[in-house]
A and B are shown apart, each in its own frame.
Chain A
Amino acid sequence: MGNGEASRHSEKEVILNHKVIETDIVVVGYGSAGAAAAITAHDKGARVIVLEKMPAGGGNSRLSAAMLLTATGPEAVKHVEALCFGKTSREIIEAYVEGCMRINDWIKELGGETVVYQNPVVTYPTSGFPCWPNVPGWEYTELRRVVGGGVDELPAMPLWRLLSDNVGRRGIEVMTNTPAKELITNERGEIVGVVAQREGGAISIKARKAVILACGSFEYEEAMKDAFLPLTPVYAIGNPGNTGDGLIMAQKVGAALWHMSSFYGWFVFKTPEYKAAFTIRFHHPSFIYVDKNGRRFANETGSEVHEVSKVLMTFVPSRNNYPHLPAYGIFDDVTRRKGPLSGIVSGANDYKWSLDNSKEISKGWISQGKTIGDLARRISVDEAILSNTIAKYNGYCKVGKDAEFDRSKETLEPIQVAPYYAIEIWPGIGTASGGPRRDKEARVVSNEGKPIPRLYAAGGLGSIWGFLTLSGGGLTDAIVFGRIAGRNAAVEEPWM
């Protein structure tokens, strides 16, 4: 993963062979990070072109719950630092928290309004706030959302509309269906443009000031997931455009990498009929998870929703592979009737999950049994073990104490109303944190630890989250570092 001198496009070669456009700053990727970068750079006086490979912008942000993690004081650094497990330097975290303290004002400047988010209903795994109440410093964080949004509209639309309207209002050019392919360097090793694919041909965009990579990570690139993530398979749920393009481009110009094994997501159900996996959450607590042998393996309601997949990574030396996979969500008819197992954050597929889960039962996605034994046979799990697991769990519900996994007593509801159901669950990935290492100025750093001149990164491509994350953390990473990148790129001296 070195300099890739031979495969790089030189400035001269590009100018000779391609149609050339000139601007001050090229932003690669049009999600929240790209939009924030473009708006900020434009407002600092730079001319900006945004490239987006997909037919429309929004990226992962548009499919998210659109929570904004905001900070109410610099003491929030302590909280973020603890969640990063030493994988992100303090000065970067300080820059992030400072940005989080200003997000609300910026949203107002753009004409939006935010309110503190409160859960209307509680689903499991929970996404309540604070996400990590046992980690110090959470008192200085807040979860906010942008006001607005219609019924049956994706939750992120108020934020995305605000950002894209502001991009449009400023006349910033957004070129959709235009994937960036390669960074252009000059003889001084500066990043001076981008080669992109457009309408069947290549175009070159010369960037007088800088290039900002904001094109997401590698959730849909199987080889990269296999190479970097700690377990496999991990099914993607977000924007199908996230195929590691930015990572490849950054590697070719010598970028150092970070947080490659870190990812956050949900438990998911995957069927070959759909490209993205479906996130799975239960509307009622009469459910448990069991492994492929029919045994419980975790406190089902004890993990922060973005980190729930970590409980599937257990390796047992005496057993082959990951002993929990595939896992099953086992639930009764009360939970089945309470609400759809998928649909809160799962917008990548053009599919509406039925409200009572009946359509998915008839499709065979959800297995149904008149008795626990019947259900066990249908999912090929040992009948006696599964029956025993559920009997034990129901016993814990009766006494209000989970002796095995210490599930909180308010979530102990027995599985007792037939028929019974099972859905196969796998680890899902919303965002891979891996990508080019950046510094507190959002500059991409080389393997030698120096900033690569005129190259910036923001958002999911090399997120600051190195181990754990929390609700709203990814989205604010995009906005905060998008803004930092835009601000710094705009004041670069033009190279030509």
Chain B
Amino acid sequence: MDVVPPGRTIAQKQFVVWADQPRVWDLLAMVTYQQLPLEQVDIVSLNRFHAVWRWGIGFIRFPFYVEGKLVDTSRPNSYGCVILVKKGPIRVSIKVIMVLRAIGEGQTEVFCTATEEGKRTLMGLVLRRLERSFALRTFDSIGARLQRLCS
């Protein structure tokens, strides 16, 4: 598994967790789902889900439709999904891969990468900063939660 998957890289983050690799992988699936700000998650098949993501400023929130598909997931080495976010003409497809590597006694490195898939569009460029900040925030919160759970 390549640490950085093909596609246009939006965001990367690396952190170390004090736990062995299988334990981190098990927590990763749980923590990722908890930390993603998704609502109305509908598990539509064994590796796909639909959900609503509410994004906005202040009290104003707009619902975006999300389709998620689990990809490149293999315990205890990697966990990933492709997320398609849709609203009106907006279509953004992001692939998130988290690669795990044991780096010593009871420590695991997690390397997170978010890449954008599909054609580059004007809308995509406008949304790039939003995607990047969202991905980094999510990686940060996953990392912080994992580190707290394994401290």
Name A's B-contacting residues (CB within 8 A): 65-66, 116-123, 128, 145, 149-153, 155, 283-285, 337-340, 343-344, 355-356, 400, 409-411, 413
Contacts and interface: CB of A to CB of B under 8 A. Distances in A.
B41 A153 contact: no
Contacts of B74: 116, 118
Given A149-B46, A155-B46, A338-B39, A120 B27 contact: no
Closest 7 A/B residue pairs (Cβ): A355-B40, A339-B41, A120-B70, A122-B30, A118-B73, A337-B39, A151-B44
A149 B45 contact: yes
A120 B39 contact: no
B81 A410 contact: no
Contacts of A285: 34
Contacts, number: 79
Interface in B13-47: 26-27, 29-31, 33-34, 38-47
Contact of B40 (A145, A337, A413): A337
A410 B148 CA distance: 9
A279 to B, nearest CB: 12
A198 B31 CA distance: 54
Interface string B44-86: 1111111110000000000000001110011100000100000
A118 B47 contact: yes
Contacts of A344: 43
B46 A145 contact: yes
Interface of B: 26-27, 29-31, 33-34, 38-52, 68-70, 73-75, 81, 148-149
Contacts of B81: 120
Chain B binding site: helix, strand, loop or mixed by DSSP? strand
A340 B34 contact: no
Given A410-B30, A410-B149, A120 B38 contact: no
A284 B34 contact: yes
Nearest to A410: B149
Contact of B75 (A118, A152, A283): A118
A407 to B, nearest CB: 13
Contact of B39 (A117, A152, A356, A413): A356
Given A120-B70, A410-B30, A151 B48 contact: yes
A356 B149 contact: no
Contacts of B148: 400
A40 B41 CA distance: 40
Contacts of B75: 118
Given A410-B27, A410-B31, A120 B149 contact: no
Given A118-B70, A413-B34, A338 B46 contact: no
Most chain B CB within 10 A, of A65, A122, A145, A340, is at: A122
B44 A152 contact: yes
A283 B41 contact: yes
